[in-house]
A and B are shown apart, each in its own frame.
Chain A
Amino acid sequence: MSITGFLTDSTLCIGCKACEVACKEWNGVEADGYDWSGYSYDNTGAVGASTWRHVKFVEQTPVPGFGGNAGELASWTFSSDVCKHCENAGCLEACPTGSIVRTEFGGVYIQPDICNGCGYCVSSCPFGVVERNQKDGRAFKCTFCYDRQKVGLQPACAKACPTESIKFGELDQLRLRAQERLEELHSRGMEDATLYDPLDSSVGGTHAIFILRGDPRTFNLPPSPDVPTIYLKKSWTSSAIAGALLLGGTLLAFWAENKNGRRRNAR
C-alpha cells in the first residue's frame, strides 16, 4: 500500500465549504448548528469533534492585485484545515488503549470501537485537532476516510472539492506537485506563497500539507510543532530521581530514628 496524503492549496480555495458538508454527510458527523463565529464567514473557528474539515476565512486589508482582487476590496483567503496525520503523531503515541493506530495508508485513525474517552490524545495533539465529543464520550477527528481508501476511493472532501484545492494522492507525488505549484505561483508574482510541511520539526512532517500565501501563523498553523513524546526522557528522568530521593530519604529518616531510639533505650 502506498502512503497517501492531502495537499490543500489555499490559492485555489473559494470557501464554499463543500468539503465540510461532504465530510459530514459521508462520515455521519453531527451538525455544528447555525452559529457564526463572528470572524468572517467562519462557523466553528477550528477543527474539532464534529468538524473534521474546517474552512478558514482570512480577511485582510486590501492589497491591490492581491489574489487578483480589485484594489478597493478586502483580500480574502480561504484554507481548508484538517487533521495533519503527523509522521510522529502525539495522539497515537499517547493513546493508552491502542485505539489510535497507523493505517496501511499512513493515516492516523481512531478505532471508535476501542476508544474509551480518556482524553489523553486531546492534550497530546500539537495541532489542537482531536476533541472529545461530550455527548458521545469518545474522541473524534478526521479518519482520512479510511473506509473509502480501503476500497480505492479518494476521501469525501477531496472528491467534493470543486476547484481541486484539496488534492489527494501519494504523499511523495503530492510533495513534488506542491513544489511545481509553488514555482508557478512565484513566477506569477505571488512571492509569498509557501508550503506548510513541518519536516524539520519533531513531528517529522505531516501527511496533510498546505500551500498558503504569507505566514502560516495567520492560518493557526504552528511554525514548529512538537510531538509531546520529546518530553518523556527528561520527565521520566525526573521521576526516577524523585523515586530515588523518596526511597533514600525514607530509609535515612527511619534508620536515623531507629539508631537514636536504640541509643536512648541503651541509656
Chain B
Amino acid sequence: MSETVPDASGPHARELNLKDSKSERLNSQNSIDLERERRLEEIRRAAERHGQLQVDGARAAGAPFPQANPENGYYQIPLLKEPSWTWEIPLYLFVGGAAGAAGVVGAIADYTGADRELVKHARWIAAAGSVLSPPLLIADLGRPERFLAMLRVFKPKSAMSVGVWTLLGFSTAAAATAFAAFLSDRYGPSLPLRVLENAGQAASLAFGLPFSNYTGVLIGATAIPVWNCNAAELPLHFGASGLGAAVGLMDLMGDRKSGALQALALGAAVFETWEGFSIERRSDPALDPLKHGTSGLITRTGGVLSGPVPLILRTMSLFGSKKRSSSLRRLAAASSVAGSLITRIAWINAGHVSARNYKLPLRIRN
C-alpha cells in the first residue's frame, strides 16, 4: 500500500483553502457569528463536565440527511412504490395503440370502398400488432407461465382485466381477418373465408375502438400522481397517439395518395399539439416529471415529434408538386411513428419519477 501524500491540488488543500477564505471573510467583515461561538463554548463545557457530549449534537446543522417531520415526511423516503413494469410495457402501449387504430381505419376503409391496398395495409398493421402484443405483455409478467390466470375472471373495475379481454378479442379478430384475406388472395374467394373475413373485420372495429386507447385508463386509474392527475386526458391522448402511429405506418407503406389518411393524420397531429400545450399550461406540481429533467425532455421530444412537426410537414405537403408532397408526408409519418413510441416511453418513465416524489401523496406543499 502506498502512502497518500497530500498534494497542493488534493482535497485537503482545497478544504484548507476553503477554511482560509472563510476566516478571511470573517476578518474582512470584522464580525463573529456570536451564536455559533456560543455553541462551541457549550460543547466545551459539556465535554468538561460529562467527559462526553450529551447535548443536542446528534444532528449537526446542515447534516446531509433530512429529518422526519410533517414537511419531510418520513426522512423524505417515497411513500409509493415505483411501477414494477419493464421495457415491454411502453413498447406494448405503442404497438397496441397503433394496431387498435389500424383495425378501426381498415374496417371503415373497407366499408366505404377505399383503395384495396390501403385496406390491406391497415389489416396487416392490426394483425402484426395483435401478434406482437400478447408476447410483450406475457414477457413483462413476473410469472409468465401463469398468463392464463388473467382469463379466469373478468373484473370491470380493473382496467387491466378489461384490457386483457379487449386485447384477446382484438387479437383474435384482427389475426382472423388478415388470415382469411390472405387465403382468399392466394387460393381464391370462398364463402367460409368471406364470412371469417367479414366477421373478423366487424369485431376488429368493435374491439379496436377501446383497444386503441384503453391503456390511458390503465395507467390513469393508479396511485401514481402524474398518471392519475391525467386520468381524463390520457385515453384521448393515447388514442390520438395510436392513430398518428397507425396512419404514419400506412403512409410509410405507400398509401401517400390517400386524402382520408392525410386528414386523419392532421387531426391526430392537431390534437397532440393541443395536448402538449395543455400539459405545459397547467401548473399542477404533479405534472413536473412531464416538464423538468430527463423525463421532461423525453416527454417534450415525444410531444414535438407527434404534434407540431407532422402538423407543419403535412400542412406544407398540401401545397407544391406531387413528388415534394409525397416526401414531406413520408417525413411527417416517420415523425409521428417515432413520436408515438417516445410518448409512451415518456409517460411510463414519468410515472417512475412521480412515484419517487415523497411530497405529493402526503399532500406536502412546496
Contacts and interface: CB of A to CB of B under 8 A. Distances in A.
Interface of A: 37-39, 42, 45-46, 48, 56, 58-62, 72-74, 90, 93-99, 114-120, 122-133, 136-139, 214-215, 217-220, 222-226, 228-229, 231-232, 234-239, 241-243, 245-247, 249-258, 260
Contacts of B304: none
Nearest to A234: B232
B235 A118 contact: no
B146 interface: yes
B164 interface: yes
Interface of B: 54-56, 58-59, 65, 67-70, 73-75, 77-81, 83-85, 101, 104-105, 108-109, 112-114, 140-144, 146-147, 149-150, 152-153, 155, 157-161, 163-164, 209-210, 212-214, 216-224, 227-228, 231-236, 238-240, 243, 258-261, 263-264, 267, 351, 355, 358, 361-364
Contact of B81 (A116, A125, A138, A229): A125
A241 B271 CA distance: 13
Contact of A217 (B160, B209, B362): B362
B160 A238 contact: no
Given A132-B84, A232-B217, A223 B77 contact: no
A235 B217 contact: yes
B193 to A, nearest CB: 24
Given A228-B223, A235-B234, A246-B209, A119 B83 contact: yes
A256 B258 CA distance: 11
12 contacts: A46-B77, A60-B68, A93-B157, A99-B149, A117-B141, A120-B158, A128-B79, A223-B362, A246-B213, A247-B209, A257-B258, A258-B112
A126 B224 CA distance: 8
A118 B150 contact: yes
Contacts of B212: 242-243, 246
A122 B65 contact: no
A116 B149 contact: yes
Contacts, number: 286
Given A39-B68, A218-B73, A258-B112, A116 B143 contact: yes
Given A242-B216, A246-B104, 17 more contacts: A59-B67, A73-B54, A94-B160, A96-B155, A119-B142, A124-B223, A128-B79, A217-B363, A222-B79, A225-B361, A235-B217, A235-B220, A238-B235, A238-B236, A242-B238, A242-B239, A250-B264
Given A60-B68, A256-B260, A250 B105 contact: yes
B243 A97 contact: no
Nearest to B85: A119
Given A61-B56, A74-B58, A241-B236, A136 B142 contact: yes
